[in-house]
Structure 1
Amino acid sequence: MRTPRSTTSPATGGDVFALIRAGQATTRTEIGTLTGLSRTAVAARVTSLQASGLVVEREEGVSTGGRPPVKLSFHVQAGVVLSAAIGRSRTQLAICDLAGDVIVAEDVEQEIGTSPAELMPVIAQRLIALRESLGETAGRTVGIGISLPGTVDTERGCSLNSPMMSGWDGVPLQPFLADVTDAPVFVDNDANVMVLAERRGERRDFADMLLIKASTGLGAGLVSGGVLQRGALGAAGEIGHTKTAAAQGVVCRCGDVGCIEAVAGGWALVRNLQEQGREVTHIRDVITLALAGDAEARRMIRESGRQIGEVLSGAINLLNPEVVIVGGDMAQAYDTFVAGLRETLYGNAIAVATQQLQILPWTHGELSGVVGSATMALDHVLSVPAVDQLLAGAPRP
């Protein structure tokens, strides 16, 4: 959690809001204790936050004489954030409150290979319709969060390198959403936003976390020291195209040879079952078979976990996370997948790195992408600098 900046620089309204949003301060007295601000200064900042709609003050408990006790809280209904998790064949949309919780959601199916010029106008129309379905209760739109598979240029708001999304690289997405809202648009990698979704609630205290997204493709999201790590070019976590002996000579959909995704990704499992004459078209079909007890589907999912564990063990040695989160479509067959993952991850990683390592399923299930995209946007628009600008009446970043 963010703490006040220093004793020589008084805590701002944004600093005070950060304490209230995190639940670290619920009264004016607590704010004064944590920030060192005078009662007058605390009152001024709280009043400003109340006027912005971000903070509400409610009477709680029974008065024993004098003014009843009051509590300050983050007003999560003060607005909404729009969210879109764009995939190869399906896009998930949602309207979330300012805590990042989903209010309403829907899926949009699209043909594989659909271009941004074809899909983005549909996304814009559906987001408008979803927001309008809430009526006046929606409040103002504070931002839009979008996730994409592959490497993302977060500054330009576009795909940088995605073998899955042909025709999307280098195409900024914000212009397609100009008619939806004038609020800022933020774009990031799908696994990155999913790991942000996990850093909420009871998992907030995990400062070193690695999320593996095992779906049609493979990716990872990494939080180290409490900070999301994107890498120099945004390519941190692109484990799907790590070379492995198990894929020697096997052509990957990226055009290279020997990638782990070519033998352990969802699309590879679909390919293998199709070669056996099975009628499957997506990894979700394989999961359905496995959950129904199909021995071959279960074997393939466990083997996928085993092969991914071999690659992941090196990351465990390098990064020493507290927890590995398993997400993506294969998380629906969690027990089967993790049985294979544990076998090689614990077998290949050094003992000290796995001594206290936890492996857990994703918290938000299939909503992880939209919850994470909303969380990513909210981390920007509700940051200390952004709130300070809002309170000062300055343009939003």
Structure 2
Amino acid sequence: MSLEPRGAAHSPLLAAHPTSPGSVFQLLRDGVPRTRADLAAQTGLARSTVSARVDELLGASLIAPFGENSSTGGRPPATFSVNPAARCVVAVDLGGTHARIAVTDLAGEVLAEEELELAIDQGPVPVLDTVSEIARRLLAEAGWSPEKLIGIGIGLPGPVEFATGKPTSPPIMPGWDGFDVPAHLRRTFDVPILVDNDVNAMVLGEHDMVYPDVDHMMFVKTATGVGAGIISDSQLQHGAQGAAGDLGHVAVPDGDQTPCTCGNLGCLEAVASGAAIVARLREQGFDVTGQAEMVELVRSADPAAVRTVRQAGRQVGAVLASCVNLLNPSVIVIGGLVSTAGEHFLAGIRESVYSRSLPLATQHLRIVGTVTSGRAGVLGASAMVTTHTLSAEHINAMLAGSGPAAS
């Protein structure tokens, strides 16, 4: 998947020159409204150049008047800020058994969304065709024409080669290995399509919406599988093959020998995922068939269910303790369906992490539950798209009529 807008790679006029409208636009992306004089002072550009660039951005509705600054006399100068309603994004969070699809504005505000049961093991074509159908309907419900769509972001529950958008040997996604996800979706939507691991999207969503000032953090999802998204020095870490953060296939230190789908024994996914907890409860005689029933059982304060979930938390924490010593994050966010069972799971994680990690690494460490109400994945998928498509180069391409949603 090319990360350049069509035509941009061969046109020097679209490059991110300091005087380009795209470069001026970047100064407004921090959310602070500015006047033309502010922009001229900040860039060192002539007032006439700044005014021309502001007019171009206004003409494309990419920025909008925000209000007026105070003035010592005469008419107050107008201020401008990014217009979140200029374009929209389709954001998709695919899990092992569920999907959440949303339409957001450029600020990540969800305008329309749908959550449904959707098994990833159906294969890429039926799953992605369902996504396309729902995305078209949500765009219509939100009042957006496809021409205003600036891009699509997708999180998948397995390793992804980010540069191409192709899954790489995903363990719970039969038929997806090497499938060209962007190419398939472009049959319906001719826009940039960014694909990443679902937990990478989640850590971006939680970071952008809740912890924007945190430079080192992790997001751990425990559901059908177990995975982590890692931000270090404010940068999302993919690893050499897109497999960074695959906690699910790290061996738990307690020596559990439960067989894992990967062929090894005692992997975290095999002993502490939502499916593994359900299996443990069934072994104890509970009539539970899925993770949702397991969560309800724990919420009802059944002592055996609480003990089982807390032990799973300890096993997750035992693996995370090594991550804390190695990466030294300041925040670890716990998400996924298992985390909705309450504080018992979190308590088990904290117990192991704080007892097994070095005191220096845990001195200021916070281990907290997600606060994005299941939306971390779509919020991160939306952020992936806006970070890419609102770059200076892409804004220049859009204004030149050669980029997505140029009309």
Q: Quote the residue 1:144 is aligned against.
A: 152
- Structure 1 range deviating more: 221-230 or 254-263: 254-263
Distance of 1:19 and 1:201 partners within structure 2 = 20
Question: What is the correspondence of 1:317-328 to structure 2 with a 5 Å cutoff?
Answer: 317-328=325-336
Alignment root-mean-square deviation, CA: 2.2
Q: CA deviation at 1:138?
A: 7.9
The question of whether the paired residues in 2 share the 8 Å contact of 1:249 and 1:258 is answered with yes
Aligned match for 2:229, one of 221, 232, 255: 221
Identity of aligned residues (%): 38
Question: What is the correspondence of 1:188-337 to structure 2 with a 5 Å cutoff?
Answer: 188-337=196-345
Distance of 2:121 and 2:306 partners within structure 1 = 29
SS at match of 1:365: coil
Question: What is the correspondence of 1:111-126 to structure 2 with a 5 Å cutoff?
Answer: 111=119, 113-126=121-134
Q: Quote the residue 1:171 is aligned against.
A: 179
Q: Quote the residue 1:92 is aligned against.
A: 100
Distance of 1:309 and 1:65 partners within structure 2 = 62
Q: CA deviation at 1:297?
A: 2.0
Q: Quote the residue 1:373 is aligned against.
A: 381
Distance of 1:367 and 1:124 partners within structure 2 = 19
- Structure 1 range deviating more: 315-324 or 175-184: 175-184
The question of whether the paired residues in 2 share the 8 Å contact of 1:19 and 1:25 is answered with no
1:172-215 Cα offsets, whole Å, 9 max, x none, are 12233234321111100011000100122451111111111111
SS at match of 1:188: strand
Distance of 2:382 and 2:317 partners within structure 1 = 30
Q: CA deviation at 1:11?
A: 5.3
Q: Quote the residue 1:81 is aligned against.
A: 89
TM-score, structure 2 length as denominator? 0.89
- Structure 1 range deviating more: 74-83 or 173-182: 173-182
Distance of 1:273 and 1:159 partners within structure 2 = 32
User: Partner amino acid for 1:262?
Assistant: A
Q: CA deviation at 1:146?
A: 0.8
User: Partner amino acid for 2:360?
Assistant: V
SS at match of 2:34: coil
SS at match of 2:374: helix
SS at match of 1:168: coil
With a CA cutoff of 8 Å and minimum separation of 6, indicate the structure with the bigger relative contact order: 2
TM-score, structure 1 length as denominator? 0.91
Q: CA deviation at 1:108?
A: 2.7
Q: CA deviation at 1:136?
A: 4.7
The question of whether the paired residues in 1 share the 8 Å contact of 2:346 and 2:368 is answered with no
Distance of 1:348 and 1:328 partners within structure 2 = 23
1:285-341 Cα offsets, whole Å, 9 max, x none, are 211211121222222221122111111111111111121111111221342122111
1:146/1:202 Cα in 2 relative to 1: closer, same or farther (>3 Å)?
Answer: closer
Q: CA deviation at 1:15?
A: 3.0
Aligned match for 1:23, one of 24, 31, 54: 31
User: Partner amino acid for 1:161?
Assistant: S
1:382 aligns with 2:382: no
1:104 aligns with 2:106: no
Aligned match for 1:48, one of 34, 48, 56: 56
Distance of 2:164 and 2:29 partners within structure 1 = 29
| Count of aligned pairs | 389
Q: Quote the residue 1:5 is aligned against.
A: none
